Chains A and B, each alone.
Chain A
Amino acid sequence: MQPSTKKSLVGKLEAVNEFEREPIPQNKLKGWKSFLGMYAGEHTAGTEFVIGPLFVTHGVTAFDLMVGLLAGNLLAVLSWAFLCAPIAVKTRLTLYFKLEKICGSRLATIYNLVNALMFCFLAGSMIAVSATAVGIPFDMAMPALNDVLPTSVGWVITVLVVGAITTLVAMFGYDQISRFANIASPWMILVFIAAAIAVLPELGVHSISDFWAVANDRIWTGEPLPGQIRFTIWHIMFFAWFANMAMHIGMADMSILRYAKKWQYGFCSAAGMYVGHYIAWVASGILYALFLFESNNSMTFAPGPVAYRAAGIAGAICVVIAGWTTANPTIYRAGLAVQSVMSHWKTWRVTLIVGAITTIAACFPGLVMQLLDFVALYGLILMPLGAVIFVDTWILPKLGMVSDYAEKRGISFNWAAAISWVVTLGICFLINRWFGLDVYFLGLPGWFIAVLLYLVFSKVYQKKTWEQESRVSANL
């Protein structure tokens, strides 16, 4: 590379300013179309090629799937619109900077590292999904449902190449990601729909009136594959609601929605939910059902070849791009999380490190095979501090308590928030163990527990630290 070119590249990267530690200025706010494209692109993703088929493996019925997704996605949209977006627009801060104000730098650091790690795993699963498509021309051995460790050298090399390119794009910031997602998303969703429609005759659907019978007999049969638990309508509804719990109730999308001119742009998430988490999940389930039908219930689980079988090269490329459009913003979010810990580092440098960790994680196919459980767990772990932000923004001032407590008192560790977080997760764990409630459902009681605990602990903690400060002042 020529020195001048190198200098201009570094200069371009250095110029990327994402307003990590300041409110977004008015002239940088974005219109609703930007969010529509972002959400539609982000949620029509590589994971959709995994989640739809995993519902099939869990033996959901056609009725439970259709109705469960309708209700669950509605709840998710409402969570974005009424919980996350109003706070994002009110503060115009990233989740991470807001947490620092409430929880103090030390607790925010712990949260950010946990958050970044979760984002790395999520982005890693998407890179792995892309790799199943990239490996097709090389006749790469594909992973199976029960694989956890890397299966071949070819798999590892493919993942490393896909991860490197994804990281490079993410290093150029939100604008580049947004542009890429905007261009790809209309085409991607049409590929999902087209691929599913084109294979319906091979499943026995020759007219629209055949669909429901075939859907029940050959696609969503109600019979789980060996080793999988059976999903009910409640599993589907709660999974759809909480699949992005970290983003809406957990407030991670403050980092995105802080660019919105109005809080109502939170409803733009409907584009992602009903296109990506409804149509795409249904479509990918249909494609996987054909694969199971033709392979006599093979345990191989590789979205790339499944899409290639139905839509040829366009299908395989769709899997690659679908993985990218979600992995990119996820790596970007993880970069922001770490950047808030290492504020003297430029975003692009942090993104590079995060991308490397993500790529290593992507080498393990177990990440993809256990995606439903991981997605639910990841939302649950990050949710309690979303509840803390909610309470801090809307409830504490009304009760005469102090918002942004750590910033105003100059403390680096807000014990009330920390204990609320840990105790909430502890109680959720006990509910899971004692009452056998699946991880998919724990977010609902967990949010109310976190809200209640933070209110009680804040009352005690703020009173205690106030009295200590008063005593110190009096002694002086």
Chain B
Amino acid sequence: MNQQRTGAQGGMETSFGFQDVGDGEKQTRVNDVFHRVAKRYDVMNDLMSGGLHRVWKDSMIAWLSPSRTANWKVLDVAGGTGDVAFKIVEASNRNAHATVLDINGSMLGVGRDRAAKKGLTENTEFVEANAEELPFESNRFDAYTIAFGIRNVPHIDRALAEAYRVLKPGGRFLCLEFSEVELPVLDKLYDAWSFNAIPKIGKAVTGDADSYQYLVESIRKFPRQSDFADMIRNAGFERVSWRNFTGGIAALHSGWKL
């Protein structure tokens, strides 16, 4: 058991929540979690964020402010259920084109069904792939988004390098992730909520406490705002900055490929 937050130098690749695992083992364990929770994923995010993830995602889209010109392309990674991609396409007046990528087929299945229901199949496509090994040529996308996904990627440095590679020069990287609460009192409250309430609620709602235990632990292991910004810079991005949401419960990091 290791509850220390990881830093800019790495460590997430061998952390499955608070458990230390072998390099190469994390992906399988994470896959299992998301196969189990796929159908309840949005409910889960509501639980973990008190419903705020919807507000944060809207803020992410506002900061991105997707172009309304045709041929503007976004790659949404770990976006299986499609909610971020759909918001981007809607914000572009249905001009943007979104490629939704996820390593998990269960999540993508949910997303593709939703795209059909929303009449967005022309604007969205779904690809099962690994964020560390993107199946795209270099310089193809105008934006890369990832919301509540990067902490589940074993080798974050590789995912960031791939993000940089597939973005066009002038392209934008945006990452929304649970982060370190920077307000006193709120941090204690949030910890109590995370570690006591969430696994119990998760068990009551889905019958699966272990998945939720992983999710709260992985939030606590993920590098704090300044360390994650360093990792983004190390991948080559410039003008790296971040905004905290709700006292740092979540943070939105931004970088540019210039």
A binds B: no
Measuring CB to CB, which residues of chain A are less than 8 angstroms from any residue of chain B? none
Measuring CB to CB, which residues of chain B are less than 8 angstroms from any residue of chain A? none
